[in-house]
Amino acid sequence: MNHPYLDIHPEVATALSENKPVVALESTIISHGMPYPQNAETALKVEQVVRDHGAIPATIAIIAGRLKVGLSKDDIDYIAKEGHKVVKVSRRDFAFIVAQKVNGATTVASTMMIANMAGIKVFATGGIGGVHRGAENSLDISADLQELAKTSVNVVCAGIKSILDLGLTLEYLETHGVPVIGYKTKMLPAFYSIESDFEVDYRLDTPEEISEVIKVRSELGIEGGMVIANPIESKYSMPSKVINKAIEQALREMDEAGVKGKASTPFLLAKVAELTDGNSLASNIELVLGNARLSAQIARSI
């Protein structure tokens, strides 16, 4: 927990020292996920859901080169207002952002890194990154997948972001020994939708079952985290045909615009939200809230 670059919020530090449940939350969803003030409001709402279910939220970001585990309301508002001015930070960017003492919004990979430094084992997000469509030509594969293979933080999400290649992402995770758990489902949820053409590795039906596997993996000395795929509630789920049509158009427009690399995901998510008249963004918010709820329950069980 003690690290020269790490600042742990007093509430989070107390919870960790007293072995109370803590849930890590990322900050890219604040800076790059939606416009202000909706981004700040959503971040605070997610934190409240974690509290309502018996855990302490620890939203993670880099501010002026300091690794922040647990943000104040002012910190969240600052990141939200700065928006895309804040650097989107993954593993490769990490040391540079700290050394240059600038602001960074943490992705799944970098949130896992900082959560692991602090000793937090459960992390709630929207969806994980993965193998991009057309990766056989571009080799565009998210660093999230390698981080899951090496860092022992367990990620609760609504599956793999559906703008990606779900099948290839599952194959990549399997190659690197990362298990994918379906919460109350054998079908892999597809982010905005509860349905996909793929299955998860294991179905577990309670937070207690999930926490028991986390405990056993730790006792066995198995490195790396797990993907805990929690389907969006059916009333917020979008029809697969509608969302897939929007994704295909967004991908075409991204290619035409020449958008590549770390800018791809924010571009695609924003474009899909535009093409679905904001319905995908509403679904995105609801699935994050659901993942925060399950994460708190798992952290309590641990």
Residue 262: how many other CB atoms lie within 10 Å: 19
> Closest by alpha carbon to 253, among 238, 240, 277, 270?
270
Could you tell me the sign of the dihedral formed by the alpha carbons of 82, 88, 94, 95, in that order?
Answer: negative
Q: DSSP secondary-structure letter at 234?
A: G
CA distance 106 to 92: 12
* Residue located via tokens 């993907």: 227
Q: Which of 26, 47, 88, 271 is catalytic?
A: 26
Q: Which of 68, 161, 262, 271 is catalytic?
A: 161
88 as an active site residue: the answer is no
- Runs of H (alpha helix) within the chain: 10-17, 28-31, 38-52, 73-82, 94-99, 108-118, 135-138, 143-150, 166-175, 207-220, 240-257, 264-275, 279-301
CA distance 132 to 134: 6
Residue 257: how many other CB atoms lie within 10 Å: 11
3-state secondary structure at position 162: coil
The phi, psi pair for 143, rounded to 5°, reads -70, -15
3-state secondary structure at position 89: strand
161 as an active site residue: the answer is yes
Residues assigned a catalytic role? 26, 161
